[in-house]
Structure 1
Amino acid sequence: MTTHTGAETGADREDRPGPAAAFAEGPRGVPLLGNLPEFGKNPLAFFERLRERGDLVRWRFGPGPALFIAHPDHIGELLTGMEDTFDHPDLGIAVRTLLGNGVVVAKGRDWRRKRSLVQPSVRPKQVRSYAATMAECAVALADRWSDGHRIDVKKEMTALTQLIAVRTIFGVDTAIDAEAIGRAMDVAQQEIGAEFSGLGAVLPDWVPTPGRARIKRAVAVIDAEVSRVVARHRDGGEDRPDLLSRLLTARDETGAHLSDREIRDETVTLYVGGHETTSSTLVWAWYLLSRNERARRALTEELDRVLADHEPGHDDYASLPYAQAVVKETLRLYPTIWLLTGVAREGATLGGTPVPAGTRVWSSQWATHRDPRWYADAEEFRPERWLADGEGGTAEEIPEYAWYPFGGGPRVCLGTRFALVEAVLVLAVLSRRYDLDLTAGEILPVPGLTLQPDREVTATVRKRG
C-alpha cells in the first residue's frame, strides 16, 4: 500500500485491515428507481451507510447496477484505471450544459487531446507566475475590511476568487460582471445537485423539466459574459501571461488550434474550477478555524513567525506547513468534489474480484475521508495530522487515496497546484490581519457541483493585535 505522510493517533497502522474482496449487499431498493430515493434524500449520509457495510457494496442507481467502494486500494485501482479498465461516465445533462465538452467531460482521444492543450497552462511554473495576483487580490480585500465589520463570508470569498480567476484566466485589464456570474453559478450549483440526486438522474436528456430550464438560463448568462471577455481579449492583439492567451495559441499534434466552442468550454471549465472550488474551501476553512481556537492560534503563530513584515508570495508557500495543513484538513472534512465514478469495462476487477461490465463504480471522498480506519478522531478538525515529525505532528502515515479531494490517476484535476497555492496564500494574507468570528451554530454541507453551506455564513471581522 502506497502511503503519504500524515499524522494520526490510535492503533498501529501496520495492523490496518486489507480491502475486503467479496461484495456486500446494500440496502434494498424499490422497483425501477433502486436506491435513488434514499440516495437523493442525503447522498453524503447514504455513502457513509454504505461504507459501514463493507469495502465493496452493491446497490442500484436507478435501474442500473452500481458498486460503492470504500477502501483506498480499490479507489486507487479505479482512478488509475480510468481510460483503460474503467470508462469515464456520462456526468449528466446538467454538468454538460455548464461545462460543454471541456476537459472534465471529454472522453478517450478527445480528452487526451484537450488535456495536452490545457495542461501547460497550469504547470508549476505558470502557477508561480499567478501567485502574485492571488496575493494582491487578497491584500486588496483585506484593505477594505475593518475591525467589527460584519461580512457574508461566502459572498466575500466568492468575489475574491472570482477576481483572481478573471485576472489569471482573462488578463488583468478585463472587466467581468462578477455578480451576474455569481448568481448564475449559484443556480447552476443547485440544479446540478438536484438533477444528480433526483429523478433527473434517470430521465432521458430530451425530457424537459423546470430545473433543466433554470440551468439553461443560468448558463446563458455565464456564456454571454465569457463570450464578451474572450472577444475583448482577442481584440487586444497583445501577448499576455494569462490562461486564455495560452489556450488561444495552443496547438495539438496536428497543428490545429482549439475551436471557438472548445475555447468556450475550456474557459468556463477553468473559470469554474479556478474559483468555485477554492471559494468553497475557504468558506469551510473559516468555519472550522472559527470553531477551533487552538488551530487558529497555531496558524497565526506560524504566519507571524514566517512572514514577519511582508505579504506572502509563492516562495513562502513551502515555509507555511501549518497553513497547508489547515487547507488539507479542510479538504478532508469538506471536500469540494465529494464523489467520483467510473464504468467497468469487460474484464475489470477490484482487489482481484471481477466487476461485471457496465457496472457504475462509485467512490466518495466524503465517506473515505471520514473513515476512522484511516483517521483517528475522524470527525475532528486536526491540521496537525498532516505535519511531519518535528513540525508538531507525529509523522504517521495515511494511505494514498484515503485523501483524494482532486481525484487521481490520469484524470487527476489539472488545477490541483493552482487551488492549493491560492487557498494557502489567501488564508495567509487575511489571517495575518484578521480573525473571523462566525455566527454560532452548525453549518451543514449541501452537495451540488461542490459542497456548499446550507445557509448564509456571516462573521464579524476582528483585527488582530
Structure 2
Amino acid sequence: MTTVPVPGPRQFPLLGNLPAFARDPLGFFTRLRGHGDLVEWKFGPQRALFLSRPEHIGELLTGIESEYRHPELGWAFKLVLGEGVVTSEGPAWRRKRALVQPAVRPRQVRGYAETMTDCAATVARGWRPGQRVDVRDEMLGLTQRIAVRTLFGADTAGRESTIGPAMDIAQRAIGDEFRGVTFFLPPWVSTPGRQRLKRAVAVIDREVARVTEQRRRLGEDRDDLLSRLLAARDEQGQPLTDKEIRDEAVTLYIGGHETTGTTLTWAWYLLSRNPGARSRLTRELTDVLGGRAPGHDDLGQLPWTEQIIKETLRLYPPVWLMTGIAKEHSTLGGRPVAEGTGLWSSQWSAHRDARWFPDPDAFRPERWDADAAAAVPDHAWFPFGGGSRACLGARFAMVEAVLVLATLAQRFHVDIDTGDIPPRTGLTLQPARPVRATLKPAA
C-alpha cells in the first residue's frame, strides 16, 4: 500500500519536535497517529517518519539489515548493552545471533520451566492473606531470581541485591537520556546521570566477570544460559570473548527480568480492575491444575492465562518503540525514503489503534480467542518486534509470564489500590508510581 507522508505537528528550529516528545512520548506518538498513517516529524535535527499502518511497520521490522540500518540508541543504551546481539549490525550481528539463539530455543526454554515455577512457588509460600505488598517490587524481585538462576545457576545466589539496584539505575538512565537533549551530547560530556550510570555498569561488569571467571576456573558445565554461552562456537570454531559473554549475559538478563517483571505487574493491575477476567482465570487454573504446580506441558491447556498475558502486552508493551534509519535507495510502501531518515513505530500507539483493536483501551483477553486471532493483521501487535531481529527471548518471556501468573493466581487475588496508574517510559514501560495491593485468597 502506497501512502504519501503528511506533515506532523509544528516544529522548533534545531529541536524539531523533541520538546513535545520529551514531555510525553506516548501521548506524542498517539497524536502523531491522528495526523495520518505516515507522518513527517523531526527528532531534534533528524528528519523522521512515524508509521502506523501494519504494512509499513512490517516493512520496518523485516527490513532492518537490508533496507534500513539499526539506529543509534544513545550513549547510555550502548554502555549498558555493549556490542550484544541487540546493538550490533551486519556480519557481527549475524555471528552473535547464531551463537546466542541455541540458548533460548524451545527445547532449552522447556528446561527452565521448573525453575520458573519453583521461584514463583517460593514467593507464594511467603505471601499471607491480608498482607500489603508493592506489586512491582514483588514481581521484579521474582523475575530477578528466575533470571539469576536460569542465566548464572547458583553462582549469584544471595547477590541479587547487588545486581538489581544497578540494573534499575541502568534502565532509568537509558529512558532519561532518550527523552532529553543528552541523547545528542557526545560521550565525553559528563553529567550527574552519566556518572551514576557508569558506577552502576561497573557493578554489573564486576558481577558478570566474577561469575564467568569462577565457572571457567571450576570447569563446570551446568544447565544454564551462561554455560551455553561459554560453550558456543562460531563457524570458525571460535568462542565468544569475555566482552561478548558479558554483553550477551546482560542482554539476556534484562530480557528475562525487566520485561517480564513489568508485564506481570501490569497484568495484576488489569486483573484487579476486571473481576470477571480474574474469576475466569481462577476457574481455568482450578479445572486444569487442581491445586498442583503448573508445568511446561500445561501451557496448551491454559489458553485464558496466556490470553491475559497477550492482552497485557497489547495495552502495556514493555518495549514501546522501534526505530530504523533509511539506507541509500531505501523505500517504504513503494516510495523512496531519503537516506538518513529515521523510521519510527510505537507498540503503544499501534496496539491502541481502533482499526485493529475495537474498544482499544479496554482489557479484553477474549480478543485472543483461537477463532478471533486471525482478525488482527500481521504487525499490528508486535511486543517482541519482528523479522530477523525479533527478540530472541520472546518464547522464554511468554512461558515465564504464563507459568508465574498461573502459580501465584492459584492461591491469591492481588487487589491493587484504587486509582489509575500511568506508565512511565524508560528502557521499558514502567508504572509511574508504586503499585500497592492487598493479598486475598483466590478461592
SS state of the match for residue 399, structure 1?
coil
- Structure 1 match to 2:171: 189
Looking at structure 1, the residues matched to 52 and 186 of structure 2 have their Cα atoms a distance apart, in angstroms, of: 30
Q: In the alignment, does 2:258 pair up with 1:276? A: yes
The aligned counterpart of 1:170 is 152
Quote the offset at 1:346 in angstroms.
1.5
Shift of the alpha carbon at 1:395?
5.4
Shift of 1:176: 4.8
Residue 15 of structure 1 corresponds to which residue in structure 2? none
Shift of 1:159: 1.1
Aligned to 2:277: 295
Alignment of 1:248-327 (within 5 A): 248-327=230-309
Q: Secondary structure at the match of 2:439?
A: strand
Matched, 1:105 2:105: no
Task: Give 3-state SS (helix, strand or coil) of 1:246's partner.
Answer: helix
**Aligned partner of residue 324 in structure 1, secondary structure:** helix
Q: Please tell me whether residue 446 in structure 1 is matched to residue 428 in structure 2.
A: no
The percent identity for this pair of structures is 60
Q: 1:257-286: CA deviations, max 9, x gaps?
A: 101111111111111111110000000000
Higher deviation after alignment, 114-123 or 143-152: 143-152
Alignment partner of 1:413 is 2:391: yes
Q: How much has 1:235 moved relative to structure 2?
A: 2.8
Deviation at 1:180, TM superposition (A): 2.8
CA deviations 1:151-210 (Å, max 9, x no partner) are 111111111111111111111454252123222222212211110010012222222222
Partner of 2:360: 378
Aligned pair in 2 of structure 1 residues 37, 298: CA closer, same or farther (>3 Å)?
A: same
Residue 152, structure 1, aligned to residue 146, structure 2: no
Over residues 303-336 of structure 1, what are the superposed CA-to-partner deviations in whole Å (9 max), with x where a residue is unaligned? Answer: 1111113210000011111011000000000000
Structure 1 residue ranges (4+ consecutive) displaced by more than 6 angstroms after TM superposition = none
Residue 284 of structure 2 aligns to a residue in which SS?
helix
Which of 369, 375, 380 pairs up with 1:397?
375
Structure 2 Cα separation of the partners of residues 30 and 55 of structure 1: 23
Give the superposition deviation at 1:31.
Answer: 1.0
Quick one: distance in 2 between partners of 1:374 and 1:38?
A: 26
Letter paired with 1:427: L
Q: Give the C-alpha shift of residue 28 in structure 1.
A: 1.6
CA distance in structure 1 between the aligned counterparts of 2:27 and 2:291, rounded to whole angstroms:
45
Gaps of 5+ in 1: 1-18
Q: Which amino acid is the alignment partner of residue 216 of structure 1? A: K
Show structure 2 runs of 5+ residues with no match.
none
Q: Which residue of 2 aligns with 1:26?
A: 8
How far the C-alpha of 1:353 sits from its partner, in A, is 1.8
User: Distance between the aligned counterparts of 2:156 and 2:20, measured in 1?
Assistant: 46
Residue 206 of structure 1 corresponds to which residue in structure 2?
188
Q: Tell me if the contact between 2:2 and 2:334 (Cα under 8 Å) persists in the aligned partners.
A: no
1:455 equivalenced with 2:428 (yes/no): no
SS for the counterpart of 2:410 is helix
Cα displacement string for residues 340-396 of structure 1 (whole angstroms, at most 9, x for unaligned residues): 10011112111112111110100000000000110010000000000123xxxx555
Separation (CA, whole Å) in 2 of partners of 1:327 and 1:273:
16
Among residues 69, 77, 88, which one is paired with 1:95 in the alignment? 77
The one-letter code of the counterpart of 2:76 is A
Which residue matches 1:425? 403
Structure 1: how far apart are the matches of 2:27 and 2:427? 17
Q: Post-superposition shift, 1:20?
A: 5.7
Whole-Å separation in 1 of the counterparts to 2:159 and 2:216: 19
RMSD (Å), alpha carbons: 1.2
Report the Cα offset of residue 238 of structure 1: 2.1
Distance 2:32 2:352 in 1: 13
Contact 1:154 1:280 in 2 (8 A): yes
Question: Is 1:166–1:176's contact at 8 Å kept on the other side of the alignment?
Answer: no
1:215 has 2:197 as partner: yes
Secondary structure at 1:125's aligned position in 2?
Answer: helix
- Cα distance in 1 between the residues matched to 2:439 and 2:261: 18
Q: Retained in 2: the 8 A contact 1:25–1:57?
A: yes
Whether 2:315 is the aligned partner of 1:330: answer no
Shift of 1:298: 1.1
Moved more, 348-357 or 63-72: 348-357
Q: Report the AA paired with residue 50 of structure 2.
A: F
Q: Following the alignment from structure 1 to structure 2, what is the Cα–Cα distance between the partners of residues 343 and 25?
A: 19
1:77 equivalent in alignment to 2:55: no
SS at match of 2:376: strand
1:13 paired residue number:
none
Q: Which residue is equivalent to 1:11?
A: none
Counterpart of 1:12 in structure 2 is none
Task: Measure the CA separation in 2 of the matches of 1:402 and 1:176.
Answer: 41
In the comparison of the two structures, how many residue pairs are matched? 443
- For 1:328 and 1:121, the matched residues in 2 are separated by 24
Could you tell me how far 1:46 is from its partner in structure 2? 0.3
Counterparts of 1:172 and 1:440, CA distance in 2: 39
1:225 alignment partner in structure 2? 207
Candidates 362, 366, 369, aligned match of 1:387: 369
| 1:49 aligned partner | 31
